[in-house]
Amino acid sequence: MNIRKSCKADIGQIEKIYDRILSEEEAGTATIGWVRGIYPTRNTAEESLKRNDLFVMEDEGLIVATAIINQIQVPEYRFAKWKHNISDENIMVLHTLIVDPLQKARGYGKAFVMYYEDYSRGNNCHELRMDTNIINMRARKMYANLGYDEVGVVDCVFNGISGVKLVCLEKYLLPS
């Protein structure tokens, strides 16, 4: 298993992963809160690639998961009651973590979060933030098991999707 920054050649595979999870959402076999044609889209991945903050996880040459890791805090975060008052340059954010539905229950989500934590430490960021839709119970359970605290729920239009109850999560890593 390897996690690396994405390249242009990965975009098609990432788009297929988005499509598969959106199909599961539409079939009622996944509850994430994403909407086809609104978020995430191929453009989501392409814009992240341009910023150089799109990551992929490969296993035996196959992309099995993807996420965006950067220091961009979405505007909705200003309504959360963060436990730690940290300067922005010491905050890292995980966005749009998705494991290919064909690769579920193999520990890839947890491994990606562990990578995010190591990446954050390596960039001198000890405050970790992320969010998920309140209806995404699977992700909320995983994040809680990994030590992330839910610090607030923000009612909003998020990434173009109306009626979202955005759960804001944080974890503070002690400096090594």
> Which two structure tokens, joined as six digits, stand for 107?
């520990």
Q: For the segment 72-109, what is each residue's pLDDT rounded down to a tens digit?
A: 999 999 999 999 888 999 999 999 999 999 998 889 99
Structurally, how many domains does the chain consist of?
1
User: Quick check: 175 pLDDT over 90?
Assistant: no
Q: For the segment 106-143, what is each residue's pLDDT rounded down to a tens digit?
A: 899 999 999 999 999 999 999 999 999 999 999 999 99
- Expressed as residue numbers, the domain containing 26 is 2-172
User: If you search the block for the tokens 């995430």, which residue do you land on?
Assistant: 40
pLDDT given at position 105: 84
> Which two structure tokens, joined as six digits, stand for 68?
């965006």
pLDDT given at position 176: 64
Q: Enumerate residues 6+ apart whose C-beta is below 8 A from 35.
A: 22, 25, 160, 161
CATH code, 91:
3.40.630.30
Kindly report the pTM of this predicted structure: 0.94
Buried b (16+ CB within 10 A) or exposed e, 22-53: bebbeeeebebbbbeeebbbeebbeebbeeeb
Q: Enumerate residues 6+ apart whose C-beta is below 8 A from 81.
A: 151, 152
CB distance 94 to 113 below 8 Å: yes
